[in-house]
Structures are given as structure tokens and as C-alpha cells.
């Protein structure tokens, strides 16, 4: 009953550091989460340390990693949208908006998570956030879900102000660490966390808080 959450991000692993704890928390509280991942991150340059992926196997490996991450978080519904990595900004706009619009129609989320347009560093991140905001803006006011955005450009706090949503996810460190570690082709963090055994307190300090900016429609 009005507890659907829709996450729209371009790359497998975008969820891990930024909002896996928040999602785990929402799911424990009864939310149903759909994660729509636009690409398989198939153009990524990291192949694991030591490398275990190559250009051909990378998308398959990253899909499996993403599935494992979703399982760790408890995400019930993963959608792979099949757009091309690194080119979201050049996608046919009506097509991209159409896909996002259909998801909104189907899921009727009360809240959407995405990247803050213009403050998310990678062009795919910004283009995804822009498309999500543009599509939601087309909806009648009363049908618009709230939009919680991730932002991490250097100027984001200066320009957007402090994040208005700060989630304490310290109770969800297990899910979050498992989500991060699932992406073993991408993160040295897997080594960092696994082998050096960061102290629980250190982990909490670094990862125990997740921050979002609620998007304000003009
Ligand atoms: Zn990304």
C-alpha cells in the first residue's frame, strides 16, 4: 500500500556506496524496491584486481555482481534496461523518457532515487538524473513521487546546500558491505574491507551515513 520505491541509476555498483544501506532499511520496514539499472557498465575500465574479466565477459560478470548486490540488500525487483554504457547523454530522449515513464506508470512509486542532475560527476549519472526529473515533471502534480537525489560533485554542498535527508544506516552495515563487496570487478574496497578487516567502528564512520537532496521541481 503506497510503499513502492523506484531506483533509477545507470551503472551496476551505483547503488552500493550511496544508498544500499537506505534501501536495506526501507525494505526491512516493508518497502518494495524496484531497481532499474540502465546499463551493464560494459565500458568500465576496471577488470578486477588481479584482472578476471575482459571486454567480452565484463557485462556478464557485472550483471552477476549486480544480482548479488541486490540480493544482499534485499531488493525484490531488478530491471536491466539495456542502454549502452557511457552514452546515456546521447540516447534518444523520447525513448529514454518513455522507458522511465512506463516504469513510473507501472510501479507508481511514492519515492524515486536517482542522481542529482548536474552534481553527480559522471555524464551518465547526470543524464540519468536529468531524464528522471524531466519525466516526473510531466506528471500531474498529485501523481509525482518525491525524488531523493545522490550528489557528490565537489561544489554540490556549496550550491545545493546541505543534504536535507540524512539516513543513519549503521544498523545495515552488513547489507551495505555485502553490496559493495559483490562488485568485486570494480572495487579494491573488496580487498580493503576483506583482508585488512577494518574495525567495525571505522566502517561505521565511513559508511554509516547516506545523504540525499530532495529535488525541488521548478
Ligand atoms: Zn556510475
Residue 142 CA, ligand 1 centroid: distance in Å: 31
CB atoms inside a 10 Å sphere around CB 189? 17
Residue 135 CA, ligand 1 centroid: distance in Å: 20
Residue 66 CA, ligand 1 centroid: distance in Å: 12
Distance CA 46, CA 57 (A): 12
Report the pLDDT averaged over residues 46-58. Answer: 92
Model confidence band, residue 199 (pLDDT cutoffs 50, 70, 90): confident
- Judging by DSSP bridges, how do beta strands 111-115 and 4-9 pair with one another? parallel
Residues 6+ apart with CB under 8 A from 119: 126, 149, 151, 152, 153, 155, 156, 159, 160, 213
| Residues, Cβ < 5 Å to ion ligand 1 | 11, 14
Question: Rounded mean pLDDT of the chain?
Answer: 93
Q: Is the pLDDT of residue 42 over 80?
A: yes
Residue 204 CA, ligand 1 centroid: distance in Å: 23
Q: How far is CA 214 from CA 38, 149, 156, in A?
A: 22, 6, 13
Q: What is the pLDDT of residues 71-118, one digit of tens each?
A: 999 999 999 999 999 999 999 999 999 999 999 999 999 999 999 999
Per-residue burial over 99-122, b if 16 or more Cβ lie within 10 Å, else e, is bbbebbeebebebbbbbbbbbbeb
> CB of 72 within 8 A of CB of 184?
no
Specify the pLDDT at position 194.
56
Q: Is the pLDDT of residue 195 over 70?
A: no
Cα radius of gyration (the chain): 17
Residue 98 CA, ligand 1 centroid: distance in Å: 22
Residue 2 CA, ligand 1 centroid: distance in Å: 28
Report the pLDDT averaged over residues 43-51. Answer: 90
> CB of 213 within 8 A of CB of 151?
yes
Task: Give backbone dihedrals phi and psi of 127, rounded to 5 degrees, phi first.
Answer: -65, -35
Specify the pLDDT at position 187.
83
Q: What is the pLDDT of residues 111-154, one digit of tens each?
A: 999 999 999 999 999 999 999 999 999 999 999 999 999 999 99
Residue 115 CA, ligand 1 centroid: distance in Å: 10
DSSP lists the bridge partners of residue 212 as 165
Amino acid at each position: 500500500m503506497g510503499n513502492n520505491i523506484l531506483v533509477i541509476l545507470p551503472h551496476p555498483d551505483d547503488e552500493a556506496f550511496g544508498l544500499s544501506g537506505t534501501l536495506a532499511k526501507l525494505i526491512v520496514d516493508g518497502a518494495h524496491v524496484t531497481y532499474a539499472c540502465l546499463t551493464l557498465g560494459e565500458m568500465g575500465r576496471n577488470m578486477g584486481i588481479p584482472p578476471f574479466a575482459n571486454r567480452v565477459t565484463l557485462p556478464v560478470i557485472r550483471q552477476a555482481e549486480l544480482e548479488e548486490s541486490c540480493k544482499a540488500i534485499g531488493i525484490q525487483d531488478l530491471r536491466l534496461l539495456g542502454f549502452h554504457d557511457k552514452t546515456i547523454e546521447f540516447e534518444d530522449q523520447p525513448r529514454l523518457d518513455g522507458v522511465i515513464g512506463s516504469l513510473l506508470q507501472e510501479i507508481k512509486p511514492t519515492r524515486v532515487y536517482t542522481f542529482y542532475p548536474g552534481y553527480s560527476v559522471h555524464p551518465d549519472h547526470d543524464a540519468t538524473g536529468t531524464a528522471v526529473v524531466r519525466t516526473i515533471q510531466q506528471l500531474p502534480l498529485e501523481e509525482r513521487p518525491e525524488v531523493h537525489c545522490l550528489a557528490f560533485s565537489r561544489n554540490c554542498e556549496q550550491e545545493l546546500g546541505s543534504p536535507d535527508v540524512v539516513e543513519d544506516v549503521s544498523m545495515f552495515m552488513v547489507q551495505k558491505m555485502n553490496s559493495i563487496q559483490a562488485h568485486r570487478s570494480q572495487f579494491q574496497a573488496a580487498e580493503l574491507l576483506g583482508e585488512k578487516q577494518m574495525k567495525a567502528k571505522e566502517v561505521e564512520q565511513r559508511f554509516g551515513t547516506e545523504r540525499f537532496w530532495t529535488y525541488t521541481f521548478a
